[in-house]
Amino acid sequence: MTGGCLMSEPNGNPKGKTLDTTYMHNRLKGDSFPEDWDEFMDEDIRIFFDTLLNETGQKKGEVIRKANLSRTYGYQLMEGRRRGKRDYYLLIALAMSLDLKTTQRMLSVTQSGSLHPLIKRDAAVIFAINHGYDIVETYTFMSTLGLPPLDDGTENE
């Protein structure tokens, strides 16, 4: 992935309804809270994933299959129609072979909380991402450390 902010234009203005921290900071200085907050964020998730898929040449269906998520739910997550658990987005990041910076950005856009290196489970995921582990390798690695693996929701079905 190239450097720079994935979701903003060079002039700092939002492109459509894209996530732009500076733009939102300016809106939050206004007299009232933005009424379109939820719309703004939902649109960003869809645009974020569409842009990312376009940049990496990957297909949504293939990423969802690799992430071992249910097809319908995976599409809803990547289109911003539903909010998922943080683990689901981490599975998507692993399925897409994202680097750590892009994974952290995705967690921010999806409001899932960033990975923190001082939390052992998060540190294990960071290690897996930094070493290009796929989902199976990450599962095995986390299991050898005695850590709960990333939840794909299959136990709930």
Q: Count of domains in the chain?
A: 1
In a domain, 142, yes or no: no
Reported as a pLDDT band with limits 50, 70 and 90, residue 44 is: confident
In a domain, 5, yes or no: no
In a domain, 129, yes or no: no
- More confident: 23 or 97: 97
Instruction: Supply the CATH number for residue 72's domain.
Output: 1.10.260.40
Q: Domain limits at 61?
A: 21-112
In a domain, 145, yes or no: no
Structure confidence by residue, pLDDT tens digits, 140-152:
999 999 999 998 7
In a domain, 11, yes or no: no
In a domain, 137, yes or no: no
Structure confidence by residue, pLDDT tens digits, 23-33:
777 778 888 88
Burial of 60 (0-12, 13-18, 19+ CB in 10 A): middle
In angstroms, the CA 142 to CA 124 distance is: 7
